[in-house]
Structure 1
Amino acid sequence: MNNPKIKKIKIDSQQYILIVLFDNGILKEIDFKEKLQNDFYSDLKNKMLFEQAQVDIGGYGVSWNEDIDISEYELWNIGKVISNESILF
């Protein structure tokens, strides 16, 4: 089964959280605080960089720059489903 692609994101740089709307209508919250302990993501502790997150073309992931990204597969698997009513895009 293919994972849903990313449609939109909302960034909460104060809490290091991404809210991700997938193309199947599911909204998930991804808390990046634990990921920031990993060397690969440690630069994202800079809130200005964290705020630069962009959905990749085709919804296949989220990228911050040429070096830091995360796939839709991983976001789907680590995200926590939240109510559509709690976040307005």
Structure 2
Amino acid sequence: MLSIKINKVIPMDDMKLLVFFENGSVKQFDVGALSKDCPEFEVLRDPAIFQCVEVEPGGYGIAWNDELDCSEGELWENSIDISSK
């Protein structure tokens, strides 16, 4: 799979993220859906924790802390493209 690095991430309401990729694409990722399969992400239902998301060095993913992160591939494959909206 081609790796498309992340430039920026913005937390939104309802456990959703706007993810800006280096190729100009903007996608929306639903962390709430992820937490159904990965119980460790339930802690992100706390808005104060959810808002702490950052792009990892090099743009290879995003992270809330040392234990909760998502790779650029996961975000690219499991997000809705909203670039043209």
User: What TM-score does the superposition give when structure 2 sets the normalisation length?
Assistant: 0.90
Identity %: 33
Superposition deviation, residue 83 in structure 1: 2.9
Tell me the equivalent position of 1:27: 26
Tell me the equivalent position of 2:35: 36
Tell me the equivalent position of 1:47: 47
1:1-89, aligned counterparts within 5 Å? 1-12=1-12, 14-37=13-36, 38-83=38-83
Residue 36 of structure 1 contacts residue 45 of structure 1 at CA under 8 Å; is this kept in 2?
Answer: no
* Deviates further, 2-11 or 71-80: 2-11
Aligned residues between the structures: 84
List runs of 5+ in structure 2 lacking aligned partners.
none
Secondary structure of 1:62's match?
A: strand
Superposition deviation, residue 36 in structure 1: 2.0
Secondary structure of 2:8's match?
A: strand
Give, in whole Å, the separation in 2 of the partners of 1:67 and 1:83: 30
Letter in 1 for 2:21: F
Question: 1:12-43 CA distances to partner (integer Å, 9 max, x unpaired)?
Answer: 1x311100010000110001111122212111
Question: 1:40-75 CA distances to partner (integer Å, 9 max, x unpaired)?
Answer: 211111111000000000000000001100000100
